[in-house]
């Protein structure tokens, strides 16, 4: 309460006491010309008030009390304009549809200046701003498809005020996602296949090795459409690092934080070849140097293979060495 308001309140209180005392002194209506102004005290007011309340003039009693209450309310009420309870937070985004690897802007419109606005994506702190207009730039990574919540919390003193909105994550071919790049999407847009952006390799006795034999000339019972199961069979029958399946033993091949990579089946390898531009990193050669093994065998001694830059026979001897491009499902 300001000093001016307090002074007004005290003055109104004095006037109320004076009016009450002058008009109803000793319970009788006093004549204005005979009234002598007296500086009322709290004791005087109490005697007057209790003496007055003891009278039978109920109408005047109620009138006096109502008038006094009204005067005190008008003079002493506190101005609460734009108080903390009135802080409003509205959240907006530069795009309602977002994509992994593509920067987007989140903004918070706050009804008054605050000390800080903190931004959250699905409950995770992604940044803050201390100066209006409150905005941050955010680049999603490995965010699953569907609806996600963006929340902004404005801080003012010890109080927090929040607002929220939603955005939709959509996956696309070629998007960086969960360790590689998407080269196939199911109709739902929620599941598909990811290709590693480089070929399988390891440091061998003679340096980096990038080509491997398919495996021993034994029929394992692989299929044309299930590379994950095929790779498990190849791993179980690979005695040394020269075999492709060997590198998928003991919990699988780990790359970019994921250990569920596998050698594609011939059906999956054909999709990868068709959409290789979305993944990249393939050889430009048109001969055997661009040949990739699938995990599908055609006989005891042969397995399916594809040249990624030419139309060539799609089977070869299992003991031959060619490239491997790992993939994974999501």
Q: What is the pLDDT of residues 139-169, one digit of tens each?
A: 999 999 999 999 999 999 999 999 999 999 9
Give the domain ranges of the chain. Answer: 3-76, 88-169, 176-329
SS3 93: strand
pLDDT band at 70 (very low <50, low <70, confident <90, very high): low
CB contact set of 205 (below 8 Å; sequence gap of 6+)? none
- Strand-pairing partners, residue 120, are 125, 151
Mean pLDDT lowest among 124-128, 191-195, 202-206: 202-206
- Overall CATH class of domain 88-169: mainly beta
Q: Give the global pTM.
A: 0.74
Confidence of residue 58 (pLDDT cuts 50, 70, 90): low
The string of pLDDT tens digits covering residues 109-140 is: 999 999 999 999 999 999 999 999 999 999 99
- CA-CA distance, 226 to 102, in Å (whole number)? 32
Mean pLDDT, residues 50-55: 48
Nearest to 275 by CA among 211, 193, 201: 193
Inter-CA distances, 78 with 1, 72, 81, 84, 94, Å: 6, 12, 9, 14, 41
Q: Kindly state the percentage of the chain with pLDDT values over 70.
A: 74
Give Cα separations from 303 to 221, 265, 295, 306 (angstroms). Answer: 11, 10, 7, 10
What is the structure's pLDDT at 223?
A: 98
């Amino acid at each position: 309460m300001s000093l001016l308001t307090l002074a007004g309140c005290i003055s109104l209180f004095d006037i109320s006491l004076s009016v009450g005392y002058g008009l109803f002194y000793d319970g009788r209506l006093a004549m204005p010309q005979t009234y002598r102004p007296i500086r009322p005290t709290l004791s005087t007011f109490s005697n007057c008030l209790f003496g007055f309340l003891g009278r039978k003039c109920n109408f005047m009693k109620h009138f006096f009390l109502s008038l006094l209450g009204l005067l005190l309310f008008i003079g002493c009420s506190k101005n609460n304009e734009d108080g903390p309870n009135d802080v409003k937070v509205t959240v907006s985004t530069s795009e309602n549809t977002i994509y992994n690897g593509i920067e987007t802007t989140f903004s918070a419109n706050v009804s008054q200046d605050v000390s800080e606005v903190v931004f959250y994506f699905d409950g995770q702190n992604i940044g803050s701003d201390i100066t209006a207009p409150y905005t941050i730039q955010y680049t999603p990574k490995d965010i699953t498809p569907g609806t996600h919540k963006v929340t902004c919390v404005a801080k003012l003193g010890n109080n927090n005020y929040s607002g929220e909105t939603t955005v939709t994550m959509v996956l696309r071919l070629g998007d960086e996602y969960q360790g590689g790049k998407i080269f196939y999407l199911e109709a739902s847009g929620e599941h598909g296949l990811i290709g590693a952006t480089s070929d399988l390799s390891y440091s061998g006795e003679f340096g980096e090795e990038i080509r491997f034999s398919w495996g021993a000339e034994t029929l394992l019972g692989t299929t044309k459409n299930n590379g994950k199961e095929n790779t498990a069979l190849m791993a179980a029958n690979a005695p040394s690092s020269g075999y492709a399946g060997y590198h998928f033993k003991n919990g699988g091949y780990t790359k970019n934080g994921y250990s569920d990579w596998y050698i594609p089946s011939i059906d999956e390898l054909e999709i990868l070849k068709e959409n290789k531009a979305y993944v990249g990193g393939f050889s430009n050669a048109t001969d055997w140097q661009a040949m990739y093994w699938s995990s599908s065998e055609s006989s005891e001694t042969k397995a399916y293979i594809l040249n990624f830059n030419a139309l060539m026979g799609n089977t070869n001897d299992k003991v031959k060495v060619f490239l491997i491009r790992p993939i994974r499902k999501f």
